């Protein structure tokens, strides 16, 4: 399965990572049938450069918003500010959404231009990491 999204949506995640750098950013990708329709920004309740936790209260609001719009949760994105865009042990240990794509934006240097920022997506199911194709249209 692939995740389809527009270049502007990829840029929106990168800009979020850039604004929150050096702490990790996080948010949700909502859409239908594998196609992202909206990027929903969240706040990292950990306020950490090493971990993220989407604020649970905000998560509830975002879930209700998706429900009201009839959109499905397609992905969960976050940034790595010190490491490549590949799920860490922490990412795998805390992956409770086997049907969502985990999208990671790697932004070590906040001056990196968008087209040189690595963004990759993965499924994490029962501790097994599988890369998922990102189709940028």
Partner 1 sequence: MATVFIPAPLRRVTAGQARVEVPAATVAELVDRLDAQHPGMRSYLLDEGGAQRAYVNIFVNATEIRSLAGLQTPLAERDEVSILPAMAGGGAHHGPPDP
> Applying CB under 8 A, which residues contact partner 1?
24, 26, 28, 42, 46, 48-54, 56-57, 59-60, 63, 67, 72-73, 76, 78, 80-83, 87-100, 102
Please state, as a whole number, how many other Cβ atoms lie within 10 Å of the Cβ of residue 90.
Answer: 11
Burial of 52 (0-12, 13-18, 19+ CB in 10 A): buried
Contact 131, 121 (CB under 8 A): yes
Of residues 88 and 112, the one with the C-beta less far from partner 1 = 88
Of residues 7 and 83, the one with the C-beta less far from partner 1 = 83
From the list 1, 72, 64, 2, the residue with the least C-alpha distance to 30 is 72
CB 81, min distance to partner 1, A? 7
Of residues 80 and 120, the one with the C-beta less far from partner 1 = 80
Of residues 35 and 53, the one with the C-beta less far from partner 1 = 53
CB 13, min distance to partner 1, A? 15
């Amino acid at each position: 399965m692939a995740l389809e999204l527009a270049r502007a949506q990829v840029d929106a995640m990168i800009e979020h990572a850039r604004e929150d750098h050096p702490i990790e950013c996080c948010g949700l990708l909502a859409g239908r049938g594998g196609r992202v329709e909206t990027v929903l920004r969240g706040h990292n309740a950990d306020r950490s450069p090493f971990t993220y936790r989407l604020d649970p209260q905000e998560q509830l609001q975002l879930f209700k918003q998706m429900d009201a719009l009839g959109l499905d949760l397609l992905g969960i994105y976050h940034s790595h500010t010190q490491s490549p865009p590949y799920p860490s042990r922490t990412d795998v240990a805390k992956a409770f959404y086997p049907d969502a794509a985990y999208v990671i934006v790697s932004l070590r240097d906040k001056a990196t231009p968008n087209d040189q920022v690595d963004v990759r997506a993965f499924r994490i199911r029962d501790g097994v990491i599988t890369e998922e194709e990102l189709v940028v249209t």
